[in-house]
Amino acid sequence: MRAAELGIRDSVIFLGAQPQEFVRKAYQRAAVFALPCSLPAEGDRDGIPTVLLEAMASEVPVVSTTVSGIPELVESGRDGLLVPPGSPAMLADAIDQLLLDNNLRRNLGRAGRAKVSERFSIHRSTEQLVRLFQPEGNHENSLSVL
C-alpha cells in the first residue's frame, strides 16, 4: 500500500465507497477541495472528474491540476484554482491562499456553484442529448423536458 511506503499509514484513513449523504455532509464541512490529478505513464485519464463537479455544486472552492478536461470546468482564479501537475509546492500555495483568504474562498465557491448549476444541470444535459439524437429539422417528435 502506498501510504505504508510513504510512512503515513497511521495518519491516513481510506474509507472506501460511502453513501451519498455521508459525502454531502463532508462537502458541507470542507473549507477547500483539492484534487491534484496527474497523468499516468500509460496515458489513462478521466475527462472531468465527477468529484470536482460535486464539490463545486456544493459551493466548496476547488484546487486541481491542468490535466485532461479539468481546465474546461475550472477557470483558474474565476471559479477555482489550477496548478500544473506534479507541483506539490504550487498545490500547497494554492490551498494556503484559499485557507487564508475568506473572500476568495467564498467568491470562488459561489462562482463554481453557479457554473455547475448553469452548465451541468440535469435539464441542460437532457436537452443536449435530445438535440444530439434528434434528426436535423425533425421537431415534431421532440421530447418535452421539464
Please report the domains of the chain, with CATH numbers, ordered by start residue: 32-127 (3.40.50.2000)
Is the pLDDT score of 146 beyond 50?
A: no
> What's the pLDDT band for 110 if we cut at 50, 70, 90?
very high
Residue in the structure block whose three cell numbers are 505504508: 4
Rounded mean pLDDT of 103-130? 89
Whole-prediction pTM = 0.79
